[in-house]
Every structure is written in structure tokens, then in C-alpha cells.
């Protein structure tokens, strides 16, 4: 689906990723939702999803990884 949206409506890829992330979160598909949140550029959404579900290790993993990437971009 994302491939087709990217091919025919590239301006809607981020919005589509967010929509799919929210749907997967509602279905308790945490890993799939995380991937779509990250693809949409909303890593904080993934962290908040894990926090709301008391999945603290996963929230920490996502935030630590994104924090490391931000530090590398500054160098």
C-alpha cells in the first residue's frame, strides 16, 4: 500500500504512514505501528504508544535510538 501511495501520491506518504500506525496501534500490533510511526517521522508517537501500554523497555529503546541519531546528525 505504501509503495502505491508513494508512486501515485508521494505527498500523502507521511499521512498514510500515520494512519496505518494508528490503526495498528488500535489492533495492538506494536511493532508494525512502531515501524509506521518511524517512517512518518513521528518517533515520539511510537514512544507515547509504548508508554501508554506500559511497555517501558520498548519506549526506552525507541527514544534511545532516536536520541543517538540526533546526536550523530549534530556532529
Encode the chain (75 residues) as per-residue pLDDT tens digits.
889 999 999 999 999 999 999 999 999 999 999 999 999 999 999 999 999 999 999 999 998 888 777 655 655
- What sign has the CA pseudo-torsion 45, 50, 56, 57? negative
Domains of the chain: total = 1
Alpha helices in the chain (DSSP H): 2-8, 13-26, 30-39, 43-52, 56-74
Range of the domain at 7: 2-74
pTM of the model: 0.85
Amino acid at each position: 500500500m505504501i509503495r502505491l501511495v508513494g508512486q501515485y501520491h508521494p505527498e500523502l506518504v507521511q499521512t498514510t504512514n500515520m494512519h496505518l500506525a494508528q490503526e495498528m496501534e488500535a489492533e495492538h500490533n506494536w511493532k508494525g505501528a512502531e515501524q509506521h510511526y518511524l517512517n512518518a517521522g513521528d518517533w515520539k508517537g511510537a514512544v507515547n504508544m509504548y508508554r501508554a501500554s506500559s511497555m517501558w523497555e520498548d519506549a526506552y529503546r525507541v527514544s534511545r535510538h532516536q536520541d543517538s541519531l540526533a546526536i550523530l546528525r549534530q556532529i
